[in-house]
Amino acid sequence: MTVSDHEYLKKVLLAPVYEVAVNSELSVLSRLSQLTGNDIYLKREDQQPVKSFKLRGAYTRLSALSKAQLDAGVIAASAGNHAQGLAYGAKKKGVHATIVMPETTPDIKVDAVRRFGGHFANIVLHGTNFDMASKHAQMLAKTHGYTFIPPFDDPDVIAGQGTVARELLEQNPNLDILFVAIGGGGLAAGIAVYLKQLKPDIKIIGVESEESACFKAAMEAGEIVTLPSVGIFADGVAVKTMGTETFRLCERLLDGVITVTNDEICSAIKDIFDDTRVIAEPAGAMSVAAIKKYVAEHNIKGKKLGGILCGANINFHTLRYVSERCELGEQKEAVFAVKIPERKGAFKQFCEVLGGKAITEFNYRFANEKDAHIFVGVNLKGGKQEFAALNDSLTEQGYDCFNMSDNELAKLHVRHMVGGRPPALLNEAVFTFEFPEHPGALLKFLGTLGERWNITLFHYRNHGAAEGLVLAGFEIPPESRDEFNAHLQQLSYEFKEVTEDPAYKFFLS
């Protein structure tokens, strides 16, 4: 059923969200405002009881159900904020809610759902990914007569999220541009359908992670598309397929879409912390990352810009990744690979060429009697322009220099592995994998691939997500490559071959 804009306006105004939610603050980011030359405001949805905006939509949908539907119970599939919002709302209404979560869901999230829902929340762990959990939830809904509460693609859910816009307009009716994170699109659709009717001159920009830009892909295709895979860092927006109704609204009402990198998100998490002392989750910081990027690209000055801190449910262990990457996102650090002569005094000579710049990281490995390969991080004060000048200087001095600041393989894995090369030439192929974080995942990997082919390289990296990031190499004779590819498909883990990646070839091949 298609809902008219006017009907959405009515739904937003009548949504009973304040039975569970609070009217969150609109904070001024004074430090970031001064740095950018604009007035920057942040809507603080981290202040909700469940630390995210998702409570608004889930409770609005619950409130629209009949007594018979409520008595029969509700169900949802979620590993994150939607699960917590529904559990909290169900407890408030005295409704039994079944929450299906992947077996890989971190304990901190399972415990949060249990805490918010109490004895009204029945948690079912099923499958190793969201798609498997969602299919199981749909099956349980049909079997037991539960009402399925979707995370974003539902008019009542959209209207509930639209109450954020209702508050925004009351708190600051003079915003010029508003930036809104997009996963499935419920928040952006709800905000846009409300604001564009009451303040049509406001510009609304959707924000996506580069690793899960399903709205951008749909816009380019002219229809909804399903991404083959999504990144796991900004898990709050890690959606492969946008909703039908949310796409209909966002396509018509948004004024544009911008994508941000993991490094830019990490930098924004630090910016929000510096101004508010609040630690946003990656998805929650995306609007601030987009504000910084948009201001720089369009030379915006003197405008009133708004963003939404849509969630603060961050796994504590993710912070080490954030800390490691935020300097790169702020362009205060660059990492690069350099080939230097393998002779006495070469390292000192190289440091002299750097001109006294602070070295943030240095990894060295003897390559052969002629050359040494080094992985270097340097502190920058002048951003990309300073690094470009440094790169030119190194080239003029005869150094082979490769910028690794935008190379994800180098930043995630290779920087921790510089130091090892095979003693002889191998028929080596290298892949990245996403491992589900549950017991048995490594054994499944080894049982599928590790007994038939020699593992030549292995590096595991986890930053607090439901999946771990693995770099693995295999010795694969040409005649068995087809057989290996078949086993890869059987494994059913997300993977990508990176044998030709320059970071691997420079340091590890």
pLDDT tens digits in sequence order for the chain, 509 residues long: 679 999 999 999 999 999 999 999 999 999 999 999 999 999 999 999 999 999 999 999 999 999 999 999 999 998 789 999 999 999 999 999 999 988 877 677 788 999 999 999 999 998 876 778 888 999 999 999 999 999 999 999 999 999 999 999 999 999 999 999 999 999 999 999 999 999 999 999 999 999 889 999 999 999 999 988 888 788 788 888 899 999 999 999 999 999 999 989 999 999 999 999 999 999 999 999 999 999 999 999 999 999 999 999 888 878 887 887 777 767 777 888 888 776 666 766 777 777 767 667 776 655 666 777 777 777 777 777 887 888 888 888 888 888 887 787 777 777 777 666 666 667 888 898 887 766 566 667 767 776 677 777 777 655 555 667 777 888 888 898 998 888 888 887 888 899 998 888 877 77
How far apart are the C-alpha atoms of 77 and 89, rounded to whole Å? 15
HEC profile of 53-81: CHHHHHHHHHHCCCHHHHHHCEEEECCCH
Instruction: Residue 503: name the closest of 412, 396, 438 by CA.
Output: 412
How far apart are the C-alpha atoms of 263 and 25, rounded to whole Å? 27
* Tokens matching residue 442: 């490594």
Query: Using one digit for the tens of pLDDT, what is the confidence trace for 168-223?
Result: 999 999 999 999 999 999 999 999 999 999 999 999 999 999 988 999 999 999 99
DSSP per position, 461-482: E--SSSEEEEEEEEE--GGGHH
Instruction: Residue 490: name the closest of 454, 432, 447 by CA.
Output: 447
Q: What are residue 259's DSSP bridge partners? A: 208
How far apart are the C-alpha atoms of 268 and 290, rounded to whole Å? 9
Query: Using one digit for the tens of pLDDT, what is the confidence trace for 380-424?
Result: 777 778 878 888 888 888 888 888 877 877 777 777 776 666 666
pTM, 2 dp: 0.78
Q: Could you give the residue ranges of the DSSP H alpha helices within 361-404?
A: 383-396
Angle among Cα 182, 186, 188 to the nearest 5 degrees reads 55
Phi, psi of 402 (to 5 degrees): -125, 120
Task: Judge whether 149 and 75 are in contact, CB under 8 Å.
Answer: yes
Q: Which residues contact 246 (CB under 8 A, 6 or more apart)?
A: 152, 153, 158, 184, 185, 186, 188, 189
* Tokens matching residue 233: 């860092």
Q: Which residues contact 231 (CB under 8 A, 6 or more apart)?
A: 209, 210, 211, 212, 238, 262
